[in-house]
Structure 1
Amino acid sequence: MTRPQFRPGFAFLSRSACIALGAYFLGVAPIGAAAEPLQDVHLDVVPRSQDEAARIKTVTAPTTEFGAPEPFETNPAGAATVRARKDADAFSQPSGNITFAREMDFKLGNGLFKKVWVSSPSSTKASDGLGPVYNARSCQRCHLKDGRGHPPEGDEDSRVSMFLRLSVPAHDDAAMSEIETYLAAQGIDTPRTRPDPVYGGQLQDLAVTGHAAEGQMRITYEEADIALSDGESATLHTPSYTIADPGYGPLSDDLLISPRVAPQMIGLGLVEAIPAADILAHADPDDRDGDGISGRAQIAWSKVHERPMLGRFGWKAGNPTIEQQSASAFAGDIGISNPLFPGAAGDCTPAQEGCIAGPHGDGDERVFEIDREGLDLVTFYSRNLAVPARRDVDDPEVLRGKQVFYETGCIACHSPKYVTHRLEGQDEQSFQLIWPYSDFLLHDMGPGLADGRPEGVADGQEWRTPPLWGIGMTGQVNGHTRFLHDGRAHSILEAILWHGGEAQAARDRVVEMPAGARAALIRFLESL
């Protein structure tokens, strides 16, 4: 059964709602009688003085000089940067400034990240609880070498680091979720969705013995060549998705799907440490500066803080913290209960009675299939996967490509640099000048990349700007160069050419620029 990629009619936030929401996040003014200024991810930050804030603003301003590298540009993660290895372990190193004692926690977290979970009941009590339906048996099997996943290739089936998110429009009488209640109280109208009543929030293509998998994702591609300047050309691969062999009855007629490959893991702790106000300073939902770019903040519900927070993680920025991102992946991808998502049956729905009633890894003295200590270690590991050093920053072709990147307008969404919070007890991420090349906001990327599936305040054409650090090492680490949320792009150039919506003008400049400038642009991106 094939589903359309885009369903029109999902509303954007109103101008007044966006302005009010920005004020709320920046702590400038409350919205409504019950609203409070936003708490940042880290609640114990050291406030910046006015002088320090002014210095940071100067340091993080985009450069206008391209004759030489900028100071500290070689180290995109500040003191947490590590040497750029030449093997497949380049994304699997701990923060460069981590202490010996904390490196042990990193290694323990790595062990849990790689752990292969088994079905219940099992003699290996610390490792059972898999599924009963699932997408992977370990975190590592999706986040290959802590890098990017990819779609199935050749004779492979769909069981490789990619799955389909699922949802259906919420009925008018459906109970409001926490985030919907909050947004409604602020007068913010967003599309309401729910997990599919039978198949849940994502298609589970694997199952333990005695249970049926939910179905199999099938992908076909239509290829089309497009002309570039100077007689060059490129090929675009347009995917179509089918759900084959549904294991629990017919699929919903109004099912919304969104294909997702596993993103790379480096630098997550530094992203989490960026002050929310610095990210929101780039938001311009009404394009008041007239540059055609209208970044919007995602709003996510924090299960830990029990309040709305700035979404930072995931293809549509659906999670506010690394801990919640990790916990939701344990529950949804592997079927492992944890303190944030305690359901032992993972993403199973009440319509899957056998899954709900099946044996699970909790019970007796074991409350969760991965406990608080284990989740904390995996979170620490994910927070401290290091960003490798830049390569060839002083190469003339790289510098020329950097100038092309800036002057083409790419930095309107791919904001080059930030300074992280001062953080007590978290020295690895504290007060670092970092270069992720992202604004971490939602942008309309046009109908070509639309999935038609809203998430939070994001509509069916919006995606979070992904950070670019490490993009040039994808082939080395993962053995492929597949990019974008569904891995459709076979190269960095194809990923650029898929940009539409707010990025259409910049994309067209890439098509029209001299071939030498285009090659230099790619060379710069490969150096990141």
Structure 2
Amino acid sequence: MEEPKPDAGPAEPTPDAGPEEPPPPPRHDVVEAGEERPGGDTSLTPSSASTAFKRPAPNLTLERRAEFFTGEAVFEADWLPAPNTTADRDGLGPLFHSISCLACHVRNGRGRPPEEGEIANTLLVRLSVPGADAHGGPLPEPTYGDQLQPRGITSVPAEGQARMHWTEVAGTFADGTPYSLAAPELLLTDLAYGPLSPDTRTSARVAQPLIGLGLLAAVPEATWLEWADPDDTNGDGISGRPNRVWSRREGRAVLGRFGWKANQPDLEHQNAAALLGDLGLTSALFPDETCTETQTACLAAPKGGTPEVSERQTRALDFYTHLLAVPTRERVDAPEVLAGKAVFHRVGCASCHRPSLTTGTLEGYPELSGQRIWPYTDGLLHDLGDALADGREDFLATGREWRTPPLWSLGRTRLVSGHTRLLHDGRARSPLEAILWHGGEAEAAREAVRNLTQSERDALRAFLDSL
């Protein structure tokens, strides 16, 4: 028989290893997989710098590319007053801002504010009075509606013109290097229908670039909401929150995704609202003209059909705006770009301009689904302080809140749009100026940038120019 083994007794206590060491912070001065293709499979290396925002997503089939170019034709078409022999392009106005979508989104890029003494062209002016409409949106100004219209068809007087007066405001970085910001004053002149209501709220807005919008439409709502922290429960000073806006198509309030204040639920609403507000064109989603009761000539003007933009045209336009390619990035591995990327994260810019995420499934758009993208946005509203406030509420957005704009292809602005103007009214002449205008939740990041050395600022510029 086998001898019984002696009892080993109680196990020896293991020495106390103490608390676990926290993991090291992530490094940001390295190239991450996929960031050179910010639009995932919709990314495309441009063959021409000036047309970098105008190409179709390369993962479109040949048949679907044909639909893209049909939509491009709608986007670029010049519309005409009714009645006109070109029946599929009449109905412009009676009051309007531009004659085509392309007129404001030149080469699908950014608009700009007017220079001193110049009349605004690719900048529009939102109007409202205190209160909210039946669905929680802004109340239009009684005489002029919700947008100042600088043009009218024959026999219909234009509402007025927008100009800007600019004042230089001096500042200094912590190292003593001076800078100057251009502070805008909006001037509304030549008002044809009498004075504005004394409590009118105005907001100047430049046209935004069009690339990658379909990818943002494909981001699951849960992703945006996961990043929301309206009560700043983590104490980092950032309290982004979603807007909830009215969807005419669904008949309910939904997540706001597009527009400077995230006041549009999807691209279909965004496009139809722009057709109506900017060109005076009705569609199935927005079937009524915007003439107010006091604008009798506008009310009496001929119409271009009911609606003026056909369902076929709106469907093609929606397809086009969903599937514009996102340009690839260059110099992602350049030392100064990686150094600037590390600065971008260290000062806190990435708290709102979140670098990357993955799209979900968007019905009808398989090209956009399941893509790892790098838009540098969290899609949320943030309080940016008094300096950038327009005082105009828009659904849940306050007069100090703005949606985080995507930064992809920021460095291509000059070659595509012919300028480098940024922010909602175009006041910033460079990305660094845009940062220096930030306050509110972004004040700490702004001050961190003001305290950078010259070499760190140069690195940050290099990174932003590489996007």
Fold in common (TM above 0.5):
yes
Match of 1:289, SS? coil
Give yes or no for the alignment of 1:427 onto 2:427. Answer: no
Give 1:84 deviation, angstroms: 3.6
Give 1:67 deviation, angstroms: 4.2
Give yes or no for the alignment of 1:349 onto 2:276. Answer: no
Give 1:87 deviation, angstroms: 2.1
The CA deviation string for residues 25-54 of structure 1, in whole angstroms up to 9 with x for no partner, is xxxxxxxxxxxxxxxxxxxxxxxxxxxxxx
Matched letter for residue 271 of structure 1: L
Which of 142, 161, 166 matches 2:127? Answer: 166
The CA deviation string for residues 243-296 of structure 1, in whole angstroms up to 9 with x for no partner, is 111111111100000000000000000000000000011100110100000101
Q: For the residues of structure 2 that align with 1:394 and 1:161, how far apart are their CA atoms?
A: 35
Matched letter for residue 89 of structure 2: S
Matched letter for residue 95 of structure 2: V
Residues 29 and 341 of structure 2 are in contact (CA less than 8 Å); yes or no, is this contact kept in structure 1?
A: no
Residues 218 and 360 of structure 2 are in contact (CA less than 8 Å); yes or no, is this contact kept in structure 1?
A: yes
Provide the residue aligned with 2:169 in structure 1: 224
Give 1:423 deviation, angstroms: 4.1
Q: For the residues of structure 1 that align with 2:172 and 2:68, how far apart are their CA atoms?
A: 48
Distance 1:224 1:305, change over 3 A: same
Which of 330, 336, 356 matches 2:281? Answer: 336
Provide the residue aligned with 1:128 in structure 2: 90
For these two proteins, the number of residue pairs brought into alignment is: 443
Which of 405, 429, 438 matches 1:466? Answer: 405
Residues 165 and 186 of structure 2 are in contact (CA less than 8 Å); yes or no, is this contact kept in structure 1?
A: yes
Q: For the residues of structure 2 that align with 1:235 and 1:132, how far apart are their CA atoms?
A: 41
Provide the residue aligned with 2:307 in structure 1: 368
Give yes or no for the alignment of 1:177 onto 2:177. Answer: no
Provide the residue aligned with 1:436 in structure 2: 375
Query: Residues 24-35 of structure 1 correspond to what in structure 2 (within 5 A)?
Result: none
Give 1:307 deviation, angstroms: 1.5
Provide the residue aligned with 1:315 in structure 2: 260
Provide the residue aligned with 1:74 in structure 2: 36
Which of 148, 154, 163 matches 1:209? Answer: 154
Query: Residues 236-247 of structure 1 correspond to what in structure 2 (within 5 A)?
Result: 236-247=181-192
Provide the residue aligned with 2:108 in structure 1: 146
Which of 355, 358, 362 matches 2:301? Answer: 358
Residues 115 and 138 of structure 1 are in contact (CA less than 8 Å); yes or no, is this contact kept in structure 2?
A: yes
Residues 215 and 243 of structure 1 are in contact (CA less than 8 Å); yes or no, is this contact kept in structure 2?
A: yes
Farther off after superposition, 137-146 or 420-429? 420-429
Structure 1: state its 5+ residue gaps.
1-62, 181-191
Give yes or no for the alignment of 1:283 onto 2:228. Answer: yes
Give yes or no for the alignment of 1:97 onto 2:40. Answer: no
Structure (1 or 2) with the larger CA radius of gyration: 2
Provide the residue aligned with 1:137 in structure 2: 99
Matched letter for residue 348 of structure 1: C
Residues 132 and 355 of structure 1 are in contact (CA less than 8 Å); yes or no, is this contact kept in structure 2?
A: yes
Q: For the residues of structure 2 that align with 1:476 and 1:307, how far apart are their CA atoms?
A: 41
Q: For the residues of structure 2 that align with 1:72 and 1:371, how far apart are their CA atoms?
A: 40
Provide the residue aligned with 2:208 in structure 1: 263
Residues 116 and 164 of structure 2 are in contact (CA less than 8 Å); yes or no, is this contact kept in structure 1?
A: no
Provide the residue aligned with 1:506 in structure 2: 445
Match of 1:277, SS? helix
The CA deviation string for residues 300-320 of structure 1, in whole angstroms up to 9 with x for no partner, is 111111111110100000001
Match of 2:272, SS? helix
The CA deviation string for residues 297-353 of structure 1, in whole angstroms up to 9 with x for no partner, is 00011111111111010000000100000000000000001010001x3x2212211
Q: For the residues of structure 1 that align with 2:78 and 2:310, how far apart are their CA atoms?
A: 16
Q: For the residues of structure 2 that align with 1:400 and 1:86, how far apart are their CA atoms?
A: 28
Give 1:154 deviation, angstroms: 5.5
Match of 1:330, SS? helix
Q: TM-score if structure 2 supplies the norm length?
A: 0.93
Give 1:230 deviation, angstroms: 3.1
Matched letter for residue 98 of structure 2: A
Residues 85 and 388 of structure 1 are in contact (CA less than 8 Å); yes or no, is this contact kept in structure 2?
A: no
Q: For the residues of structure 1 that align with 2:117 and 2:86, how far apart are their CA atoms?
A: 34
Pairwise CA RMSD: 1.3
Give yes or no for the alignment of 1:299 onto 2:260. Answer: no
Give yes or no for the alignment of 1:200 onto 2:145. Answer: yes
Match of 2:234, SS? coil
Give 1:169 deviation, angstroms: 1.3
Which of 331, 343, 348 matches 1:392? Answer: 331
Provide the residue aligned with 2:462 in structure 1: 523
Provide the residue aligned with 1:450 in structure 2: 389
Match of 2:38, SS? coil
Q: For the residues of structure 1 that align with 2:115 and 2:44, how far apart are their CA atoms?
A: 32
The CA deviation string for residues 162-193 of structure 1, in whole angstroms up to 9 with x for no partner, is 110000113xxx8x513x3xxxxxxxxxxx74
The CA deviation string for residues 485-505 of structure 1, in whole angstroms up to 9 with x for no partner, is 000011111111001000000
Matched letter for residue 200 of structure 2: L
Q: TM-score if structure 1 supplies the norm length?
A: 0.82
Match of 2:187, SS? strand
Which of 317, 321, 337 matches 1:378? Answer: 317
Q: For the residues of structure 1 that align with 2:204 and 2:270, how far apart are their CA atoms?
A: 17
Matched letter for residue 274 of structure 2: A
Which of 329, 348, 351 matches 1:409? Answer: 348
Farther off after superposition, 82-91 or 405-414? 82-91
Give 1:155 deviation, angstroms: 5.6
Residues 246 and 253 of structure 2 are in contact (CA less than 8 Å); yes or no, is this contact kept in structure 1?
A: yes
Match of 1:304, SS? coil
Distance 1:399 1:377, change over 3 A: same
Structure 2: state its 5+ residue gaps.
1-24
The CA deviation string for residues 411-468 of structure 1, in whole angstroms up to 9 with x for no partner, is 1101111111134542210100001000010000000000000001001100000000
Q: Percent identity?
A: 47
